Amino acid sequence: MTAEEQINALRSELHDHNKRYYVEDAPIISDQEFDEKLAELIALEALNPQLFDPNSPTQRVGGTITKNFNTVMHKHRMYSLDNSYNRQDLLDWEARMCKNLGVAQLDYTCELKYDGASISLTYKKGALVQAVTRGDGFQGDDVTQNIKTIRSVPLKIASNTFPEQFTIRGEIMLPIAGFKAMNVLRIKAGEEPYMNPRNTASGSLKLQDSSLVAARPLVCFLYQIVADRSYFDTQLETLNAATKWGFNVPKHYTHAASMDRVFAFLDQWETKRTSLPYEIDGVVIKVNSLAYQEQLGYTAKSPRWAMAYKFKAEAVETSLEDVVYQVGRTGAITPVAQLKPVLLGGTIVKRASLHNAAFITGLGLHYNDSVFVEKGGEIIPKITAINAEKRQINSHPIAYATVCPECATPLERNLDEAQHYCPNVLGCMPQRIGRVAHFISRKAMDIDGLGAETIQLLMQHGLIDTFADLYTLREEDLIPLERIAEKSAQNIVQAIANSVQVPFARVLFGLGIRYVGQTVAKKLAQHFGSIDALSNASLETLEGVDEIGTRIAHSIVAYFKSDQSRKLILQLRQAGLQLEQQIIQTPTSALLKDLRFVVSGVFERYSRDELKEVIEQNGGKIVSSISAKTSYLVAGDKMGPAKKIKAETLGVSILSEADLVAMLAS
């Protein structure tokens, strides 16, 4: 047998033993035998470097040093899930979906919600090629070398039934026993113990030395395949396929034929969750049909076809020591409870949001009250109740602040809003710092090297007043400042200069117009095409744009009426920022000009998104719902009957995919 044949045989055998041990929990050789075979492979590979394979079992021992983790755009966005804390929420959710799809009942998969760090793995020709953290859902960090050290992640798939390329998503977990063992070692070494398994697992992914990651008892649970939907019809099929391909798919999932069966699964795990060797915080319920998932689509943040049911959070009792008030970039005032430190969900909690004056009044909160604290969604601490029996006799109810804690300006509150605001937009320092911090943030202008402290320093030295002033900064302005060396000054000035290429939609988001988030900014940029057109738009014009409501429209009009806003826009224009859409997709033809299309169902030749793109490239307009103004309903397989009935009632023509293709061909 040649060296190459020996190496390939050992690699294949060790891949199989890894799967048997870490995924199937059914090893057929001892640890010593495995280590001997691994040592033999390491020696053979050292003698034959020309046969290197990045997915060899020897790569699991780590040793690669990664100084910087590259940012990678997700090919398919990683959405967050909507949360539910009671069963009526689930019934309401089901009713909305059934109405949308025009069906009487749905079936679901129920999967445990693992409390770990989300990961996205991409495979080509059966080999792991990239592992990316969730990040902000649009982009994450490439942590491939660290993920390769986790033995429950297959480096190669033995099956031959998988797609040429696919992505599978899951959660990196630290089992409770492994977490406790790590802390025993840390305490013996005189080091602070880790606070909780989730944060420790997440932090492990960004360790620079992959050999340190390899030493940690991490596991990877996988639960969602992202691939051409022609491979599967249901979520249940994807879970079964992933298991057959050798992925570590958790065993505790079920197919629920009705919402009653979903409730039975929730009842089961509400009590059994503490018996698991790892932490869960709820159950994820998904519509089983992938065709229905495609029809239901997504909101700006979450899939409409999935819901995370959260178990009741752990609650602890502690005392309220004080209330302080924070000022946001829009001037919104947030009261924050200062608590006697208490351990909750693996972390020390010292503060909790009190939201607004009405929330404080509703609780009947007094100074020095004994309060119950939970973590909202098991993440954000919140006060849920008071223990009135422990209230001190002479305690006083909390009187809400009347002036800004930073600039002493009297606070204001609009009748239709819960929060109080500081109206001192130009003079209140936290607002000024917050607006610049928002402008330079990753989702807006993405200017590295500037934090809140540096921004405050620049303002105190009179170097900037607004974010537009950033574009006048020079290296010699920065170098004299505390903690800014020459190289840092160069990097900051270069990052600012590079930001002039950021597209219009992100510039618009960076302006910080109230209620204009990322999604709204994109919508406005696409609709109006330039800052000039947007600034001149009337209230009625703005309200006519899809998904732009009265509140957003009023906020935009008020922003562009401001003299300060107009001055900022002028400065940004002079600095060379992108204040109009640079790439406007022109139709390949005008065949469908002035025609409005609703696209629904599943198609053979095109995906639904591809079909919409084809229509738009030929001058047609895609609309979300059927009305008398709709020209055509393009109907695919498994389209809900409600749309068909509405189209027929309104006299809207119905096209098949073939009809549309023929229309374009003509």
Mean pLDDT of 260-264: 96
Report pLDDT for 80: 87
Counting runs of H as helices and runs of E as strands, what totals does the chain give? 24, 20
pLDDT at 584: 45
Q: Return the pLDDT at 41.
A: 79
Tell me how far CA of residue 243 lies from CA of 110, 213, 249, 353, in angstroms: 16, 25, 6, 43
373: enclosing H helix or E strand: strand 370-376
The 3-state DSSP class for residue 491 equals helix
Task: Choose the weakest-confidence range: 85-89, 350-354, 587-591.
Answer: 587-591
pLDDT score, position 25: 60
- Compute the distance between CA of residue 374 and CA of residue 546 in angstroms, rounded to an integer: 38
Dihedral class, residue 177 (left if φ above 0, else alpha if ψ from -120 to 50, else beta): alpha
pLDDT digits (tens, 9 = 90+) for 397-434: 999 999 999 999 999 998 878 899 999 988 999 999 99
Rounded Cα distance between 412 and 403, Å, is 9
How much of the chain exceeds pLDDT 90, in percent?
Answer: 46
Q: How confident is the model at residue 119 (pLDDT cuts 50, 70, 90)?
A: very high
Q: How many CB atoms lie within 10 A of CB 312?
A: 11
Weakest mean pLDDT among 29-33, 267-271, 388-392, 414-418: 29-33
What is the spatial distance between Cα 73 and Cα 142, in angstroms, rounded to a whole number?
10
Average pLDDT of the chain is 87
pLDDT of residue 426: 85
Assign 541 a pLDDT band (cuts: 50, 70, 90).
Answer: very high
Structure tokens at 640: 């809900």
Q: What angle do CA 577, 583, 586 make, to 5 degrees?
A: 155
Residue 644 has pLDDT above 50, yes or no: yes
Residue 472 CB partners (closer than 8 Å, separation 6+): 464
pLDDT value, residue 625: 80
Residue corresponding to tokens 């409409």: 304
Lookup result for tokens 């937009």: 425
Burial 358-389 (b: 16+ CB within 10 A, else e): eebeebebbbbbbbebbbeebeebbbeebeee
C-alpha span between 219 and 152 (Å, rounded): 6
Radius of gyration of the chain (CA): 28
Residue with the bigger pLDDT between 468 and 414: it is: 468
Instruction: Give all strands (DSSP E) within 1-50, no chain letters.
Output: none
pLDDT band at 458 (very low <50, low <70, confident <90, very high): very high
Residue 229: predicted pLDDT: 65
Cα dist. 96→81, 101, 105, 285, 303 in Å? 16, 9, 11, 15, 13
Neighbours of 49 (CB within 10 A): 7
Is 286 a residue of the active site? no
Tell me, what's the pLDDT at 469? 96
Please give the structure tokens belonging to residue 11. 């690699």
- For the chain, which domains are there? 3-61 (1.10.287.610), 83-310 (3.30.470.30), 315-390 (2.40.50.140), 429-501 (1.10.150.20), 504-575 (1.10.150.20), 596-665 (3.40.50.10190)
Q: What CA–CA distance (Å, rounded) separates 400 from 315?
A: 26
Amino acid identity, residue 493?
V
> What percent of the chain lies above the pLDDT cut of 70?
94
pLDDT (tens digit per residue) in 555-572:
999 999 999 999 999 999
Contact call for residues 47 and 71 (beta carbons, < 8 A): no
Structure-block tokens of residue 90: 């689930």
Span 285-300, average pLDDT: 90
pLDDT of residue 522: 83
Let me know: does 374 contact 382? Beta carbons within 8 Å. yes
Token pair belonging to 192: 């602070």
Tokens 């900051």 -> residue: 492
Facing residues of 352 across strands? Answer: 337
pLDDT: which is higher, 624 or 205: 205
Q: Which two tokens stand for residue 10?
A: 């050992």
**291 Cβ partners below 8 Å, 6+ apart?**
229, 233, 601, 602, 637, 638
> CB 436: neighbour CB atoms within 10 A?
27
Beta-bridge mates of residue 446: none
Residue identified by tokens 């649970």 is: 221
Lowest mean pLDDT among 59-73, 157-171, 188-202, 431-445: 59-73
Angle value at C-alpha 13, between 9 and 18, nearest 5 degrees: 150
CA 139 to CA 135: how far, in whole Å?
A: 6
Q: What is the mean pLDDT of residues 583-611?
A: 76
User: Which tokens go with 94?
Assistant: 């089901």
Q: Which strand ranges, in their side-by-side order, compose the sheet holding 127-133?
A: 127-133, 117-124, 165-173, 219-226
| 538-542, 585-589, 655-659: range with highest mean pLDDT | 538-542
In angstroms, what CA-CA distances link 71 with 133, 140, 141, 169, 496? 9, 6, 5, 18, 19
Condensed to tens digits (0 to 9), the pLDDT of residues 603-635 reads: 766 767 778 878 888 888 888 788 888 999 998
pLDDT of residue 346: 67
Residue 226, pLDDT score? 87
CB-based contact 173:147 (threshold 8 Å): no
Secondary structure element (H or E) that encloses residue 309, with its range: strand 306-310
Give the pLDDT of residue 614: 85
Q: Which whole number is the average pLDDT over 472-476?
A: 94
Partners of residue 338 on adjacent β-strands:
322, 351
Residue range 333-385, pLDDT digits in tens: 999 999 999 988 667 889 998 989 999 999 999 999 999 998 755 467 889 88
Q: Taking the model in full, what pTM does it have? A: 0.58
For 123-149, what is the mean pLDDT?
90
Task: Check 113, 286, 523, 644 and give the catalytic one.
Answer: 113
pLDDT at position 586, please?
Answer: 53
